[in-house]
Structure 1
Amino acid sequence: MTAQPRSGQPALAGRFGRFHETVAHWAATRPDSPAILEGDQTLTYAALDQLVQKIADALSAAGLRPRDRILIVAENATSSIALVTAANRLGACCSILNARMQPSEIQAIADFAQPRMIAFPTVDPQISNAAATLADTFGATPLIALPGFGDIRTCVPADTDPEPAADHTLNDLGLIMFTSGTTGTPKGVMLSNATLLTQAEAQCINRELTQDDAIYLVSPIAHSIGLSSNVLSAFAAGARLIVTPRFRVEDLVERTAAGEVTMVVAVPQLYTKMLEHIETAGIDMSGARLRVAASGGASLDPALKARVLDVMGVTVSNGYGATEFVPVTRVPIGMEAASNVVGLPCTGVELRIVDDNGQDVPQGQSGEIWARGPFCMQGYYRNPEETAKVLTEDGWLATGDLGEILDNGMLAIVGRKKEVIIRSGFNVYPADVEGALSSHDDVAEAAVLGRPVPGNEEVVGFVTAMPGRQIDTAALTAFVRDQLTAYKVPSEIIVIDAMPIGPTGKIQKALLKDRL
């Protein structure tokens, strides 16, 4: 069946051409309002706008041009947010990678995307040296110092062609967000400037954000939740962002208890950690002003929701989306819903529940979730084959997730059609982990599956040994840890004598699930 969109259309994309203009807007209309808080420092919108322009001038002088691709290896820091905004001001197309990634992962994406420039916004080395270490690895040199907020280092610009110009700035490519990359062809989700603006405004509408809100940035800005649901929505609303390069749950709890935080978007496990710290440290939450506690990436345990409401006085609301299309649905603020219910279609979004042939199923039956609307990607960068698998000619995105639309119009998630593992809100593609495991000299074959645990999903690897070899699972874990981002590293590696092989020669992972 199809759920009809609610009335009204986002208008931010009609007022602005690129998201950096929202910062300039607040700098002109509310210059002294706080934009970013990092540590004991505060940047007003006027100061942020000036910093963005300073970085944009430096990037331009270094050779970055409109529609050039720039790869930004970032932590959650003022330097990173200002750099992304400055690149957008120049009209460049950003790709943001997590500074916790391994050099080999970054290089694989760089080889594919062929950016004009690779940039590393650094932070105080006493807090984190992740970006600075990677900058050294890639031979980046200082471009511009940001007193109090680290610096920005860049590699020598490459001789590459910019992206073609669209018919309007709004339709130019604003972001390529990579969701995988170490094996095969990387999946780079292409988002136009218009899509970035409409995503930001949708978050403001769904969460009723205003200039009085303070958003604590938890998810990495290399993730759609961090960038769209937090940074861009804060800029759209004129709200303030609280950022920390090295996340500490203690800081989040203390600021929340002091009434400094009004909105948090996080995976369910974070709320569990917050509750644990509140109980252990005996923190009084009576002064908290948290009004939006949003969740995604995993189902919400009813017991967890009840505890958060009791301790923090706010109802955790779930939502649904993907890097390719965010947001799709949201549970209205304060509304109670079952753990697998992810809400109503957002403004402008159409939903279909279809069978394996792409035909609508009857009301009350489950099927694959298809979505269409203004928040959808243009496709996968330089990957028309994968794009054709998920995006129809008339704009429907086949999500690979299974769900049903309830009588009240809410979407309920019932499973996943695709293999992707969601660990702590991050997508883990089995092929990436299998490639790392198989590259070890002792490993003949590898298969990776997800294993459900309370409120999360673990990565489990099955391996077979090369003839005459034995596999030391601890050594193998250490081996892949040097190749993979931490959340991709298997929680357990299981050595088996032989893989179950089907008639087509493929590993039958369904049979391996029985051994989890």
Structure 2
Amino acid sequence: MLTDPGRHLADSVSRLADCLAHWAAVAPDHPALLHEGQSFDYAALDAAVSETAERLETRGLRPGDRLFIVGENTPATVMLVLAGNRAGGVVSVVNGRMADSEIRTLHDFADPRIAAFACDGSAAATAHARALGAEGDGPIRLGQTRDSLPEPRGQDPRRDTALIMFTSGTTGRPKGVMLSNACLLDQAKSQCIARALTPADTLYAVSPLSHNIGLVGNVLAAFAAGCRTVLPIRHDAGYLARMLAEGEITVIVGVPQLYAGLVEHAVREGMTFDGARLRVAGSGGAPLDPALKERVRGLLGVNLSNGYGATEFVPVSRTPLHLLDRELAANVVGVPSEGVELRIVDADGTDRPEGEAGEIWVRGPFMMQGYFRNAEATDEVMRPGGWLATGDIGEFRDGLLSIVGRQKEIIIRSGFNVYPTDVEAALSTHPDVSAVAVVGRPVQGNEEIVAYVTALPGRSLDPQALRDFVRPVLTAYKIPSEIVVLDVMPVGPTGKILKAALKTRA
């Protein structure tokens, strides 16, 4: 353990993989990873990472070289991330369930020295390995070494680029967010402190490792704290419910839809959780319905806490523990995280007064280094003084930050700006609504508001009754022109609602 109790492990190491080596040295037998019946303690996982790092170096990976990883939530993906980091490389993780054309586009853009494939239990990653000419038949398969220009390396490994995380699809030029070792360690430390993580915790990690909440907010934070991580390849509400009921899970960080599915399963199966030990239920990525928060509290005895961040800068804000008992609106995401400065500004960069909406600007320790090989895109979001313009619209009320919407999602109806989050927050308070998403629909000279909703199990929804329900809380121009009831809401691998798919229906 660390000799200085006031200093966190993440402050004392230079690279992500050093956290794993620390726990392998001081608590080698402590469980580190559980996946589909496989279990790794810290010593075994650290040894596997070292072996993989040596294999990468033998293949030709040099400090600063980019390692392009295709995989799902499996041990081999984790090993490759930490092995690439231990070897001084720059890793990128892409979801093996993406289409072949998407993988190839991101691979070519990343220009990696080596492509690696985590094939343990992932038929999709195995297929991509074959398509891109990787060798071997084991759980980790490597492509041919390519000529590529490494990223710069300095005297302090903490300042070196460690991760390039992709934030866009394949239409147009991909964006790769560059994050340093220091930034990632600070993010992991922030999670550890906010969740009070200790080696006694077991964290359920379902968000894809290709996303920040999965890789950093869950797995790397767990390794920084010496926790055990449960890593299912795909989320299964029944599996999670059983693990909770048996007292196996103490911490969950995920999107609201994860909790909605958990509650639906538990109610349908008549499950009780008298033996549960869950103490932290963190939420992010979408508005947090107060009714869902109440259902989770009634079922599991914990309060859902909402937060906000972006791949370029996370965490921006969190709901502090002393506010979790308060009834908060669905789009409230708490107060700025420790060390984070935040502004709400108008189009000219002038600060807006409390209670008035504007673009969220942030700066602090969690800032990206920029977009990979895309100085123009970097300049578009960076502002004088080191501020990042997030593109999200927010406001402060009573010292709490609320997310109103995204600049690109604003619906302009009859000359008025309508933020989808406002409408979603109102509809989500209906007792029979499970999920809601609001999009704009162009009409001649105007835009209409279209809301998509799904009902809780055993409930039904009437569009006209829903419109009547929100009239007292929404101004007339915010009332949806149409409300569509769906059996199932389209969601992506992170559990987020796919608004792009809904826009094609509108």
TM-score of the aligned structures, taking structure 2 as reference length: 0.80
Equivalent positions of 1:217-256 (< 5 A) are 217-256=205-244
- Post-superposition offset of 1:185: 1.6
2:415 matches 1:416? no
Rounded Cα–Cα distance in structure 2 between residues aligned with 1:294 and 1:173: 28
Kindly state the Cα deviation for residue 13 of structure 1 after the two structures are TM-superposed: 5.0
Contact (CA 8 Å) 2:120, 2:140: kept in 1 or not? Answer: no
SS at match of 2:136: strand
> What residue in structure 1 maps to residue 99 of structure 2?
102
* 1:91 counterpart (88, 93, 96): 88
Percentage of identical aligned residues: 51
Q: Is the 8 A contact 1:12 1:198 kept in 2?
A: no
Partner of 1:131: 125
Task: Mark the runs of 5 or more structure 2 residues left unpaired by the alignment.
Answer: 1-5, 411-419, 425-438, 440-447, 456-491
Cα deviation, residue 237, structure 1: 0.6
Q: Structure 1 residues 341 and 492, CA, compared in 2 at 3 Å: closer, same or farther?
A: closer
Question: Structure 1 regions of 5+ residues with no counterpart?
Answer: 1-8, 146-150, 424-429, 431-448, 457-480, 495-515
The residue type equivalent to 1:490 in the other structure is A
1:488 to partner: Cα distance: 7.9
Shift of 1:246: 2.9
**Relative to 1, partners in 2 of residues 1:486 and 1:282: Cα closer, same or farther, differing over 3 Å?**
closer
- Pairs within 5 Å for 1:74-473: 74-124=71-121, 128-142=122-136, 145=138, 151-333=139-321, 334-336=324-326, 337-407=328-398, 409-419=399-409, 452-454=451-453
Structure 1 residue runs of 4 or more that deviate by more than 4 Å after TM superposition: 9-13, 419-423, 449-452, 485-489
Note the alpha carbon deviations across 1:277-329, whole angstroms, 9 max, x for none.
Answer: 11112222111111111111111111111111001111111000000101010
Aligned-pair distance for 1:121?
0.6
Q: Do the aligned partners of residues 13 and 253 (structure 1) sit closer, same or farther apart at CA in structure 2, a change above 3 Å counting?
A: closer
C-alpha deviation, 1:366, in angstroms: 1.6
The 2-side partners of 1:81 and 1:452 are apart by 39
DSSP 3-state at the match of 1:205: helix
Between the aligned partners of 1:165 and 1:450, the Cα distance in structure 2 is: 50
Contact between 2:272 and 2:299, CA under 8 Å: does it hold in 1?
no
CA distance in 2, matches of 1:117, 1:204: 32
Deviations for 1:143-175, whole angstroms, at most 9, x for unmatched residues? 8x4xxxxx1011101111211113421111000
| Counterpart amino acid of residue 140 in structure 1 | A
Which AA in structure 2 matches 1:235? F
Aligned residues: 428
Give the root-mean-square deviation of aligned CA atoms: 2.7
Structure with higher RCO (Cα < 8 A, 6+ apart): 1
- Equivalents in 2 of 1:41, 1:180: separation in Å? 33
Q: Secondary structure at the match of 1:134?
A: helix
Which position in structure 2 is the counterpart of 1:426?
A: none
Name the CA distance, whole Å, in 1 between partners of 2:101 and 2:131. Answer: 11
Distance in 2 between residues matched to 1:361 and 1:299, nearest whole Å: 23
Where 2:295 maps in the other structure, the secondary structure is: helix
What is the Cα deviation at residue 41 of structure 1? 2.3
Cα separation, 1, equivalents of 2:453 and 2:302? 22
Q: Residue 12 of structure 1: CA displacement?
A: 4.7
1:490 alignment counterpart: 501
Distance 2:219 2:259 in 1: 20
Structure 1 contact 11–198 (Cα < 8 Å) conserved? no
Q: Which deviates more, 168-177 or 410-419?
A: 410-419
For residues 345 and 17 of structure 1, what CA distance do their matches in structure 2 show? Answer: 26
Greater displacement, 162-171 / 57-66: 162-171
SS of 2:105's equivalent in the other structure is helix
